């Protein structure tokens, strides 16, 4: 994962997975609605799994 994507995952988690598909965006968006930290963790984990 690039540094830019990591910063984006901390600031706006759904934007960090924007190019990963609709399912990833929905999942990370829902996690972000639950709380900021779950969204960040979800974005980082998803980016690490897919890359």
For residue 51, name the pLDDT band (cuts at 50, 70, 90).
Answer: low
Task: Work out the percent of the chain whose per-residue pLDDT is above 70.
Answer: 98
For the chain, the average pLDDT equals 92
Question: Is residue 15 a part of any domain in this protein?
Answer: no
Phi and psi of 41, rounded to 5°? -65, -45
**What pLDDT is attached to residue 2?**
85
Q: How many structural domains are present in the chain?
A: 1
Whether residue 45 is contained in a domain is answered as yes
Task: Output the six-digit token pair for 48.
Answer: 């690490």
**Domain span at residue 31?**
3-9+21-50
Q: What's the pLDDT tens digit per position in 12-36?
A: 999 999 998 899 999 999 999 999 9
Residue 30 inside a domain? The answer is yes
H or E element that contains 25: helix 22-34
């Amino acid at each position: 994962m690039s540094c830019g994507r990591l910063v984006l995952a901390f600031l706006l988690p759904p934007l960090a997975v924007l190019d990963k598909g609709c399912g990833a965006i929905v999942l990370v968006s829902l996690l972000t609605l639950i709380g900021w930290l779950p969204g960040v963790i979800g974005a980082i984990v998803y980016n690490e799994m897919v890359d």
